Structure 1
């Protein structure tokens, strides 16, 4: 597929084995791949870690989609960037390789879009301090994530993502989605705590242990 976006910029850590489980790290809006690559230091040994730079330049960093409001992707933009991402993923992780998505903030919405659009492609998705992309062209229907592992972490005092979207995400993942849900609430705001990082590491480890 021809894309209007540039070739993906990726920072790598962990295993160089092309058959190793692949954990894709998706940064927040206005950041870049290096800002989230450090997460790999807190995650299990064994997988390959790929921190991908979002394709849309924004605010000195990069974004995964055009917004119509915080946490509310423009459907056409999200479809375009997800197609671009899948082209990259199909090259580095042919069908059969275990793939886990870990997204923070805007990257969480992008990870959510990817797994909702193609739930069989991914072993699991972590939605960290962000929202699923509701009303953005991807199906958010009962049973859509049946059997898919999902880790949702939120801050009780998060003032970045609208509370309505955080609550809707929590309720859908733990309810109608059918996902194998693991959740964590922090008393803080919009940032990954050491406790969440430790629980995320345990969750990732459980997904890649038998891969």
Structure 2
């Protein structure tokens, strides 16, 4: 595993916030890219450890969120847990895309994996521009409802999505988890692999195992293959 945390001076937001990225596994610029998005108050180094348990042959990049908070970092300002402000979400998504579009130009497969606050951010990215991504994993978090991104019928039509919730999760409001589950498994028209975990607000070994299988299929999906075959 390599850890690259040198911000590129050419990749700076207007406010001067650098893109700090930790990388692992394949260094091939054509390899499918899995972008790991950490939770609120965490950092890129902590979530990069997931790469040790995920499929080889992929490039993994863990991005540090741009807002310093509580000894860690956050993806957006919010109005409560799981409720981003529209202005902050839009600004930070533009900041993220300024990195992504240089690091992984259009045509390179990109899969987002977000945990908790990172799940809400990943959800915002796919709802804002669903055709930019090969898939997204929304882990133990909510979509950013009422935050300026379209959460409309068939918005994610055909997009590969992995969603996992913990039945004992007491961190994310239950109402937001229910709305997220309902939207991703029905109204969004996404090709969704859904898992309910008996635990709480953490990634279980079983979920990590299913996520790895889903990434393998989503990142190298032959034409016409239905991702639901991994169930």
Give the TM-score category using the shorter length. Answer: over 0.9
- Residue 132 (structure 1) aligned with residue 143 (structure 2): yes
Name the SS of the counterpart of 1:158 in structure 2: coil
Q: Deviations over 1:161-184 (max 9, x none)?
A: 000000000000001100000011
Name the SS of the counterpart of 2:142 in structure 1: coil
- Compute the TM-score of the two structures, normalised by the length of structure 2: 0.90
What number of residue pairs does the alignment pair up?
211
Q: Which residue does the alignment assign to 1:74?
A: 85
Q: Is the 8 A contact 1:71 1:106 kept in 2?
A: yes
TM superposition shift of 1:67: 0.9
Name the SS of the counterpart of 1:110 in structure 2: helix
Distance 2:61 2:20 in 1: 10
Q: Which residue does the alignment assign to 1:24?
A: 35
* Structure number with higher relative contact order (C-alpha < 8 Å, ≥ 6 residues apart): 1
Please list every run of at least 4 consecutive aligned residues from structure 1 whose deviation after the TM superposition is greater than 6 angstroms: none
Which of 153, 164, 168 aligns to 1:153? It is 164
5 Å-filtered alignment, 1:112-131, equals 112-131=123-142
Q: Deviations over 1:116-170 (max 9, x none)?
A: 0000000000000000000000000000000100100000010000000000000
Q: Which runs of 5+ in 1 are unaligned?
A: none
RMSD: 1.1
Task: Flag the structure with larger Rg.
Answer: 2
- Compute the TM-score of the two structures, normalised by the length of structure 1: 0.98
TM superposition shift of 1:5: 4.6
Name the SS of the counterpart of 1:175 in structure 2: helix
5 Å-filtered alignment, 1:1-211, equals 2-210=13-221
Name the SS of the counterpart of 1:115 in structure 2: helix
TM superposition shift of 1:4: 1.6
Q: Is the 8 A contact 1:5 1:84 kept in 2?
A: no
TM superposition shift of 1:7: 1.6
Q: Deviations over 1:52-74 (max 9, x none)?
A: 00000000000000010000001
Q: Deviations over 1:66-111 (max 9, x none)?
A: 0100000011000000000000001100000000000000000000
Q: Which runs of 5+ in 2 are unaligned?
A: 1-11, 223-231
TM superposition shift of 1:6: 1.2
